[in-house]
Structure 1
Amino acid sequence: MSRRTSEFCDGISRRSVIKAGLTGLMGLSLPEILRLKAQAASTNGRAQDDTAIIFLELAGGPTQHETYDPKPNAPSDYRGPLNPISTSVPGVQFSEFMKEQAQVMDKLAVIRSIHHNSGSHRTSSHLTQTGYYLRDRQSNENEMPSIGCITSKVRGSNEQGIPAYVSLPRDMRFGRAAWLGKGYNPFITARDADRKNFEVPNLTLLRGLTSERLKDRKQLLKGFDATREIIDNNGVGDAMDQFTREAFEMVAGDAARNAFDISQEDEATRDRYGRNSFGQNILLARRLVEHGVTVASVRVTGPSWDDHRDLVKRMKQKAIPYDRAFAALVEDLHARGIDKKVMVVAMGEFGRTPKFNKNAGRDHWGRVMSVALAGGGIRTGQVIGASDAEGGTPVDAPYRPENVLAMLYRHLGIDPSTTFLDHSGRPRYILERRELISELI
C-alpha cells in the first residue's frame, strides 16, 4: 500500500480510519445517552463535577529525542542533528522544535519515563487509550472501551444539550466504546476546524428543526430522505419522550451549534493557535470543553508521527505547528481561569528508537516515551523520571500509560476500580493498573 493512502507503517489507511469513525457515529443513539446519563445521576446521588480533559493524540509515536528529551551528549547517531534549547525552568531542555512550549514549561509537567512492552501501533494505541493491550494484534476494533467512552457513560456532559465526548476531526485510533455500546462512541466533527466556513455536518443537518416539529413525523422524514433509515432505526419518529426531545435539541438547538462555532473566536486568538488544522482543532477543543464537553480528543497528525525516514524534515512539518498550538492552549486555559478545570495530555502510542536508522529516521520503541501534561491542578514546572544517556530506557521513576490514564480519571472524579460487565458477563475494571503518578499530586 502506498504512503499516499496509508498513514501508518502497519497499512491502516486514512479512509479506513475515517470510515470506522463515521460508522461509530451513525450508531450513536442520543436518546439512549440521555437516559443513561439521567440514570447515572440518580444512582450517584450527587452533583457531577465540571472537570474536563483534552487528549492530544500524537498518532504514530513521536520521537522523545526531538521533542521533550534531547540527548546533547550522546553520540551523533543517537542525539540527531537538532539542538537542545533552554526552557523557562532552569536546567530543563527541550528540542529546538519545541521552543514555544519551552517558554511555558513552568505550566507543564513532562514525564520522560513512560514505558511499555509493545512496538505495535495497534496494541500500543489500544493500551494508551484504554489501559489494556490489544489481544488480537490485527483487530481495528476496540476490545475495551476508551477513556472518552467510559467518561461518557459515567459522567456524561457538563452541560445539557452538549455531547459528552467529541473527537476532532475523527476518533482516536482506539477511541471507541467496545462492549459499552455505540451510544458512548465519540461525536466526531469529520473535518478539520481550519476549513473555510467550518461547520459540523451532524449539527447543520438538522438546522431549523424544533422539538415541536418532531411531532409531525411525515414532515421530518420528508426533510431528511438521506437519513430516513437511520431515524427509523432509532425510533425517532415514534419515541416522543423527554429524552428524544432533548436529543434533538442537542443537534437542532443553539447550545451545541454555538459550542462548535469556532468563528465566534476572535481573530487574535485564532492567529495565536495557528491558522492550520493543528491550531484550529486544538482551539476548538478548548472551546468545546469550555461549553460543556467533558472529553475532547484531537488527532494531531498530518503527517503522522511515524517517522521511519527523513525524521527531521517530517518533524518540521508537524512539530512546529503542534508546538505553537499546545503552548497557546496552555496559556489560554490560564488566561481564562479554567486551567484547574481542564487537564491536557499529549501522548502518542510509543517512543522511537534511540539510534537513527539507515533512512535517517527512528523506528518503533515502546521501552521509553515522553508524555506532556498541563492543567488539572497538577504540580507543573517539573520533569518526572529520566531515560538513560541514549534515550532508550527509563532509569528513574518508571511509569506506564495506565498511570497517565489513572491521573486523568482522578481529575474527572471517576474511580478506575469501577467494574462494568463485558459481552460475556465478566466484570471488567476500568483500569487494572491504576497507581497514580505521585509527583503530580
Structure 2
Amino acid sequence: MRKRIVIIGGGASGLTAAIGGARNGAHVTIVEHMDRVGKKILSTGNGRCNLTNLRMGEDCYRCGQKGFPMEVIRGFGVDETLAFFKGLGIEPKDRNGYIYPNSDQASAVLDVLRSEVERLGVVVLLSCRVEKIEPAVGGGGVRYKVYTDQGILDAEAVILAAGSKAAPSTGSDGSGYELARRLGHRIIKPLPALVQLRCQGSMYRQMAGIRTEAGVKLMAAGELLGRDRGELQLTDYGLSGIPVFQVSRFAARALDQGKRVTALVDFMPSWDDSEAFGLLKKRASLLGHKTAEELFTGLLNKKLALVLIKLAGIKPSQKAGDLSPKQLKLLLGQMKSYEAIVMSVNPFANAQVCCGGVDTREVDAATMESGIHANLYLAGELLDVDGICGGYNLQFAWSSGMIAGVHAAGGYFAETHEADRNRAEAHGAYGPAPGGKRNRK
C-alpha cells in the first residue's frame, strides 16, 4: 500500500514536497486554503521569480539556530535545484549570480510545478482549511488525522508547509503557526522582515520618490544590528529599498523589545569622511559665488540636498564661499551619517517574509522531521529562517520542501537527486550551472 502523505500548504515548499514525495511512490494530498496553489510564487522577483543564487553562505540567512539554514541547503542545494527545474523545463538565466527563468516569468515556474504535481497524480484540495491535526491512536498504519472543513484525512505522514504571515493577500495567514503550536512546537514570535521602515519626521514628505545609492547602518542602544549598501528609496513615511529590507528584520525585533532604533544613512558611500569633507571644501571654494543649495547641484539629489542643508541649520540661500568649517562639518554629518529615527516597520501586508516561526532546534535539518512527533515534517517559511533578498528564501523553500517530501515518503535522497539529473538530461536540459559556476559546499 502506498504511503499517504498530507501536505498543509500549496506554496513553494509544499509543491516541492509534493513532487519529492510522489516521485518516491507516496500518495500525496495537498491541502490549500486558497482557490489556487502557488500564488505567492507569482510575486517573487518582481514577477520574474528569482529561483536561487549562485552565492550561498551562512551570512545569507538569519535563524535562531546558527548553521541550520545552510545544513538544509547542503542537503538539496543550488546544483540540485537547477537540475530539478531544468528537468521540469525551466531554462535558468544568470544575472550576476541571481538565477531567473530565461523567460523572466514567475508564472512559468508555477506552471511547471503545477504540471508536475498533476502528472504525478497528487490530489489537490483547494479552498480547504485545516482545523486541527491529531496524532492517531490505533493500528492500520494511520499516524495522523487531519481535520478540514471538507472532511477528515488519514495520513502516515504530515508535512506542515503553510507559510508565514507575510503578504497575506497571497494566502500566508499564519495559520500554520497555531497548527504547529498545538502539536507541541515552540513558536518564536513572527515579525515582518524584508520590509520598509517608518521613520519620525515630516521631512520625508519632501524627499518622497528619491532613489539614491546609500549605505545603511541600523543601531539600537549603541549596538550595530546590521548594515548594507545599495539603492535607497525615500518614501513619504521613511526608508525603503534593498539595503533597508536587508536590515529590517533586526529593526522589527529590536522595536518589539522596546528598544530605540535608528538608521544611520550614508548618502555618499563611495567617499570616506575625510574624502567627503575635502570634496565639500573644494566645491565651496570653487563654487563660492553660488548658494549652499546650488553647491550640491550635480552631487546630491536636489530635494535631498535641501533637506540636509536645513537639518544642518544652514540657510539654503547662504553663499557657499561664506560657509565656515563648522558649517561644512555639520553638512558632512548629515551627508555621511543622517539619523533616521525608526518608529516601526511596515505591517505583514508589506513584508516579503517573516523573521520568527517554528523553533528550528525542534527540527532535524537532515530530514525536516519534527523532534517532537515522528512522521511530522516542517518546511519553508513556517520555520524560524529568513533569508536576505536575492533568491535565498525560495532556495530554502525548495530545499526544505524536497527534503521533507522525500523523507516523508521513505525515499532514498541520493536516488532522487540522480533522477532529477537524468530527467534533465533526457530533455537535453542539463549542463553546467549558468556561467559555468558550481556551488558545492
TM range (shorter): under 0.3
TM-score (norm 1): 0.24
Higher gyration radius (CA) = 2
TM-score (norm 2): 0.24
Tell me which protein shows more strand as a share of its residues. Answer: 2
